[in-house]
Amino acid sequence: MSTPSTGTASRDTSGPPRQIEPGSDARLAPLTQGRAPGWWGMVWLIATEAMLFAGVLSTWFFIRTISDVWPQGGAEPPALGRPGLFSAVLVLSALPLSWAAASLRRGRMTGVRAALAVSWLLGFAFLINLGFEYQALEFVPGDSAYASLFHLIVGLHGLHLVVALAMGAVVQLKAGTGRLGPGRHLTLQIFTLYWSFVTVAWLAVFVSLYVA
Amino acid sequence: MTAPAPGTAEAAQHRLDPSPAPDDPELLKRIDDHWEERPGLTGLLTTVDHKRIGLAYIITAFFVFLLAGMLALTMRAQLAQPQGDVLDPETYGQLFTMHGTAMVLLFATPVLIGFASYLLPLMLGTRQLAFPRLNAFSYWLYLLAALLMASSLGLNDAPDGGWASTTPLSSTEYSSGHGIDIWALAVVLVGISTITSAVNFLVTTQKLRAPGMGIDRIPLFVWSVVAMSLMAIFAVPALILAAGLLALDRLAGTVVFSPALGGDVLLYQHLFWFWGRPEVYMLLLPAVGIVSTIIPVATRTSHAGYRWAVVAFAAVASLSFVGWVHHMSTTGIPTGAAGFFAVASTIVVIPLAVLYSCWIATMLLGRVRFTVPMLYVAGFLATFLVGLISGVMLSSLPFSLQTADSYFAVAHFHYVLNGGVVFPIFAAIYHWFPKMTGRQLDQGLGRWSFWVMALTFQLTFFPMHILGLLGMPRRVYTYEEGLGWSALNLTISIGAAAFAVGVLLTLVNVALTLRRGQRTEADPWGGDTLEWSVPSPPPRYNFLATPAVRGVSPLWEPPGGELTSSGDEDATSALGPEGALERASTVTSGADARPSGRVTAPEPSWLPVVAAAAVVVTAVGAVYQALLVLAAGGAAGLVAVLWWTWQTEGDGR
């Protein structure tokens, strides 16, 4: 059959289609320029989630502005010590991910998996502490709008952290089964974006609810 | 620059890029096989084809349109006479709530998303949306939300707090039953569906344009969808918050909207209208994008002021975020604040005026062919203009204080929503029906439908301005005799029934054409954008050879010239039939769309519909506080999503 006369840049298609093995480099080759669609998808997801947190924190400050007494309902403002400590733990949990990225570039999969595990454990520790803090809260949601929003905002963040931990487990599994490698960074990049977002979101929550 | 005479798909294709294989049926068959989906219901439930999903959106939305229209007709029957007894007040409350919610959230938004889903890859010159399975997920979520709302009406437990479900009316104290809970739930689901669609459209436009389609060559409809999507990303979370907090207050004992316990009732309105204001422009912009697409085709002249139009879209999108308080002008907001928002709301008229100027200029520069799509566009131009004027009136604070929540407001928003969004949607149907089905709608019947709709529209909605100025409030189930309102109400009710006849004519047109309509070619209108270069209906893979784009109206460019090639074989090899064979599409990067890689379309999958169903089941379990249902839905959803994330690597993305 005839091949096109002007530059479609397509090859002779008379033979069988070029077989590409799933997992082989050609199919998963990174772009020569610009970010992958999946990366951008995560960026937009984070933008919308950031708006969600902005909305809920605006609600927090709105209620605060119209309140004579803060916290409302005679609640004690929360202590800073332990939450502050574990906030630092959560921020630290984002750091091993750059170690993971560096290891991935060099093809050191054990380094990748170790870094991912450290990150995950730090995040998990934060979540466990969050559970204890939650139980220790003296107010229930129905006490006041302050109490409702406190529970809601911390709970909303906790939900995002649970999702991040689930994602982390999937990434760890992919690392362990050879689905990540040099030139195949996308999954780790996307995960790092989301994990970083969860960390930053907590900082915003912490400053708004505990410090301010 | 003007167009050549309308041509066939082959002529257009040869102008762009000589197709290598119209004479190789065996290759075409192999490509078709690689894109095949399973037959019947299974195929539909597992589809990842953006065209199929787009059609599903449009068809579902039109069912909603008809249902919501019947609700309106029932309300008009009640209001045709003073002290009518067709409906009792409780039912009336459910009807106007459902009518508004369904029209805005379950018809207008989804139908435009449906057109976007269908058209974006075709207009951009690619074979898929960025995230095909996510697109399917968006649709199933929407469908299930729509069914949920419809079922509440059937169970006589429909929401009845108005389409905005404002607190405290919508709080448990004044609204018992599950109606408002269902409302909140459906709203959250549709919100998530809109956001996922928005992400899809944005990334598709960023990364999957045909080589050479620089940012000043992107079709205006695509730009309008980009603007809509950006707005959705930043506005819809507010809606999710408003509805979510309302649901939690009603179901979980939180007190965010209870003044007695430190909450605030007005907070709800701030959250809701922070979304509500941009939302109406999220509906208007794609409609305007449709208008900007059809006018050049009807006049065979490139759109005047392309860059002005894009900037106007951006201006409308941004300005729409600083007007929300004008929906709250009678709630006791301090005058200074209300004044700021009044000014901000009025300024939005300026970019809209710019758009009108572009359209009029285009029509003056060319010769207008009043095809049926162009008739509906003309109807839009006239009707939306009236809505703009009444809108400017309403944005003035003194006027608003007199006419808020009166029939003047009802007149205004029907002029801008029915005139400003529904007319372009009908224009879009007549314009793209041939492309979607390979058959051409009856133009004579189309003209009848247009004229009946256009004239009865005025009969129905214009008198509402007068009623509002005479003092008739909205959302009332009846009125007394002797107020001077009776004759106007009767006129409106008659007009509404006649308008329904106009709509019906188009439906009959569609039904008849699908059965034995006249077959049509690839390019019956002499269009300028890429969707007219493929057969009608398009093959699943859209383009056999991805065309190179050399202008904003690619089909009107002179022939010749080579495809852009960046030397990256993986990227450019996806452009031709081999790429179609491998289900691949070229990824382009940068403002000038240079090939930089490829993506491969995923195989059809059950995951989207399962994940959507799981989300809905979980939410229903939450609403009815059935923990077992909630847990089952949550578990199924988690499994589906984790399986999905596992799959993406295997697909070679």
> A187 and chain B: CB distance < 8 Å anywhere?
yes
The label of the residue with tokens 């029932």 reads B74
By CA distance, what is B194's nearest residue in A? Answer: A48
> A193 and chain B: CB distance < 8 Å anywhere?
no
Query: pLDDT, tens digit, for every residue of B622-650?
Result: 888 888 999 999 999 989 998 898 887 54
Q: What is the ipTM of this complex?
A: 0.93
d(CA A152, CA A149): 5
Under an 8 A CB cutoff, do A48 and B21 touch? no
Q: Which residues contact A180 (CB under 8 A, 6 or more apart)?
A: A104, A109, A112, A171, A174, A187, A188
Q: Residue B297, class by beta-carbon neighbours within 10 Å (0-12 exposed, 13-18 middle, 19+ buried)? A: buried
Tokens representing residue A202 in the block: 């907590």
> B578 and chain A: CB distance < 8 Å anywhere?
yes
Give the Cβ contact number of residue B560 at 10 Å: 9
CA distance B348 to chain A (A): 23
> Which uninterrupted H or E stretch holds B295?
helix B265-299
Residue B205 region by backbone torsions, left for phi larger than 0, else alpha for psi between -120 and 50, else beta: alpha
Rg (CA), chain A: 23
d(CA B623, CA B535): 47
Enumerate the residues of chain B whose CB falls inside 8 A of the CB of residue A37.
130-131, 203-204, 206-208, 587, 599, 653
d(CA B1, CA B43): 44
> B635 and chain A: CB distance < 8 Å anywhere?
no
Buried b / exposed e across B612-630, counting CB within 10 Å, b at 16+? Answer: bbbbbbbbbbbbeeeeebb
Which A residues in the span 81-140 are in contact with B, Cβ-Cβ below 8 Å?
A: none
CA distance A34 to chain B (A): 6
d(CA B258, CA B261): 6
d(CA B373, CA B582): 37
pTM above 0.90, yes or no: yes
Contact B230, B223 (CB under 8 A): no
d(CA B596, CA B589): 6
By CA distance, what is A142's nearest residue in B? Answer: B254
Give the Cβ contact number of residue A136 at 10 Å: 10
Average pLDDT estimate for A145-154:
95
Confidence band of B2 (pLDDT split at 50, 70, 90): low
d(CA B187, CA B194): 10
CA distance B72 to chain A (A): 34
CA distance A55 to chain B (A): 6
d(CA B532, CA B526): 8
Query: pLDDT, tens digit, for every residue of B87-132?
Result: 999 999 999 999 999 999 999 999 999 999 999 999 999 999 999 9
Query: pLDDT, tens digit, for every residue of B172-224?
Result: 888 888 889 999 999 999 999 999 999 999 999 999 999 999 999 999 999 99
d(CA B159, CA B114): 26
Helices and strands (H and E) in chain B: how many: 23, 4
Under an 8 A CB cutoff, do A23 and B237 touch? no
Q: Does pLDDT of B7 surpass 70?
A: no
